[in-house]
Amino acid sequence: MGNNLHYREDGTFTIVQFTDLHWQNGEPDDVLTRLLMERVLEQASPDLVIFTGDVIYSDDCIDPKQSFRDAVRTVESRGIPWAAVFGNHDTESSVTRDELMDVQLEHRHCVSEAGPKELSGTGNFALLIREHGSDKPTRALYLLDSGSYSELPHIEGYAWIARDQIDWYMAQAQSFKTANGGEPLPSLAFFHIPLPEYEEVWRKELCFGSRHEGVASAPINSGMFAAMQEMGDVVGTFCGHDHVNDYWGELLGIKLCYGRATGYQTYGREGFPRGARVIKLRDGEWDFTTEIILDDGTVIREPEEHYPKGMEL
């Protein structure tokens, strides 16, 4: 299925990012999450949906596998291609990443891949978007498992994209570049836990959107952002994890974007409605546009601007 992602005849391709559903057992808050997803899918008519982690809250799921099936059913039942990366809460209890990957792959419209077994994490893979009516790829999407929690006893906190995953990404990017006549293939990257550079871009650059909590990245920087700079292909990254942040900003040519938390079964903030991020691509263009759809259907195309301290207006 992943090989069948194509731009539309008009040269457009739309991705909806759902993040942090924290689905449990079909409880009232899960029903609200489903209604939001239905509204967004109806409004955005996406060509692909990507769940950026914490699809379920495994600690409180009676049957985590069934909860995952229930969480993605809204998308699957509409026949929309979809993929998911894992977050820190998906596999905290009673289920493993490999088991949840098997659940993903049960679904006809899922385009996820388990990825190389030797790599850290589960579900490190790339999808290609091809020209309309052609097999020529013109965009790559990298989906990466950013892990859960540090496994090093002397380091507390969240995990990070590991060295072997970064090496794999760079090899993939080089392969795509070679096949593209020596030019980098414009790409996007999706993972759950934000890179440390999400903090840096807020401090240093003009950002768009809201920040109502700190950036809960890993306590060390493993070098993923540096690798993307070296390869010169990634124009945007998309994460979740921090439920009441939805800003994006551009750092050294890469747009670092938060999604908009989708799930009602987790913490939020009064006056900060749930929603989803929409990413719009056009064949032949490096850049992308993005907007947020809120739970009542409101579209945020021009989010609030945040200027770093000292930046001239």
H helix and E strand count, the chain = 6, 14
Number of domains in the chain: 1
Question: In which domain, by residue range, is 15 found?
Answer: 2-306
35/57 Cα distance (integer angstroms):
19
pLDDT of res. 1:
38
Lookup: tokens for 154: 């002397």
* Residue range 74-113, pLDDT digits in tens: 999 999 999 999 999 999 989 999 999 999 999 999 999 9
pLDDT of res. 93:
87
Whether residue 190 is contained in a domain is answered as: yes
pLDDT of res. 3:
59
Q: 15, 85, 8, 9: which is closest to 288 by C-alpha? A: 15
> Looking at the whole model, is its pTM more than 0.75?
yes
Percent of the chain with pLDDT over 90: 96
229/98 Cα distance (integer angstroms):
31
* Residue range 182-204, pLDDT digits in tens: 999 999 999 999 999 999 999 99
Whether residue 160 is contained in a domain is answered as: yes
Whether residue 313 is contained in a domain is answered as: no
Whether residue 311 is contained in a domain is answered as: no
Confidence of residue 147 (pLDDT cuts 50, 70, 90): very high
83/112 Cα distance (integer angstroms):
5
* Residue range 198-245, pLDDT digits in tens: 999 999 999 999 999 999 999 999 999 999 999 999 999 999 999 999
- Average pLDDT of the chain is 96
CATH of residue 252: 3.60.21.10
Whether residue 40 is contained in a domain is answered as: yes
163/189 Cα distance (integer angstroms):
16
170/180 Cα distance (integer angstroms):
15
Confidence of residue 4 (pLDDT cuts 50, 70, 90): confident
180/27 Cα distance (integer angstroms):
48
* Residue range 32-48, pLDDT digits in tens: 999 999 999 999 999 99
Q: Which amino acid is at 38?
A: E
**Does the pLDDT value for residue 28 go beyond 50?**
yes
Lookup: tokens for 263: 């799930």
The residue-averaged pLDDT of 233-261 equals 98
**Does the pLDDT value for residue 2 go beyond 80?**
no
Whether residue 278 is contained in a domain is answered as: yes
Whether residue 312 is contained in a domain is answered as: no
